[in-house]
Amino acid sequence: MAMTLFEQLLLYIFPRTRFKSADRHIEIRDQIENGRAARVLLYDGIRESGMYLDKYGARDPLFNYMKTLKIILDHYPGLDNMLLIGGGGFVFPRLYLHGHPERKATVVEIDGGYVELARRFFDLDVNDKRLKIVIRDGQKFLRQQAENPAAKYSFIVYDAYIGDSPNQGILSEASMKYVKSILTDNGIYALNMINEVQDVISMPTRLAEAKLKQIFAHTRVVICPKGGNSILMASDRRL
């Protein structure tokens, strides 16, 4: 997918729309970000997924919250079995698995159309045996997994948004308890939360953390670079 220098120069002047849904909510666009060619998926103009199009795109996150999640993975060893709620462009699973044959990931996405878009435009390898894709409502999937004693994940990531609107069901206390029941003893729950004001932790993040404090031994809020998002962490291991 790497672009020629000429193609990248053209993007400076003419960002290119690669896809637009019939209802015009979803757009996939090539443009220049941070001096590099990138592809972004937008829902009603809100950036939902994105990746660089050069040869380092499989390992170098475009979005700052994904950079923060990668730092968490580097800092806390053993997070080798991920459950991701909210697939979008399936960019983070690609970053998570790249260069790590020992890892495996399960991604729950409510809209199967995103899987096809990710395959066509974001290099999703649907044949990767380390990756399992489930088309289902995230809250229902969590409840189902909580009823299965064998279901255990070391790294559970919440990233379920439509534009900038979160999935309130997954942020409920009941869903947090489902997560607790399927997280390994040293596992980490990481929630991508949107800040209402840059570098100021949002009230929804504070409210979600208050619920998590009643369920997990430790919580921590990490403001992502440039402050657009925070990663809310919860675990029984010290953070």
Q: What is the pLDDT of residues 153-163, one digit of tens each?
A: 999 999 998 77
232: three-class secondary structure by DSSP: strand
68 shares its domain with 170: yes
Considering the entire predicted model, what is its pTM? 0.94
pLDDT of residue 2: 65
Residues 30, 123: one domain? no
- pLDDT(1) > 70: no
Give the tokens for residue 53.
Answer: 């199009």
At residue 141's C-alpha, the angle toward residues 110 and 43, to 5°, is 25
In contact, 64 and 228? CB cutoff 8 Å: yes
CA distance 49 to 64: 11
For 57-73, what is each residue's pLDDT tens digit? 999 999 999 999 999 99
End-to-end CA distance of the chain: 38
Domain membership of residue 130 as a residue range:
64-235
Check the CA dihedral 29-31-37-41 and report its sign.
negative
Q: What's the CA gap between 230 and 212, in Å, rounded?
A: 15
Residue with token string 């919860």 = 234
The per-residue pLDDT for 235 is: 98
Q: By C-alpha distance, which of 80, 43, 66 is closest to 231?
A: 66
In a domain, residue 59? The reply is no
Higher-confidence position of 227 and 185: 185
Q: Does 57 map to a domain?
A: no
Domains in the chain, number: 2
The band of 168, judged by pLDDT with boundaries at 50, 70 and 90, is confident
In a domain, 83, yes or no: yes
Give the pLDDT of residue 163. Answer: 75
Average pLDDT over residues 144-172: 91
Q: Residue 22 pLDDT > 80, yes or no?
A: yes
Question: Does 13 map to a domain?
Answer: yes
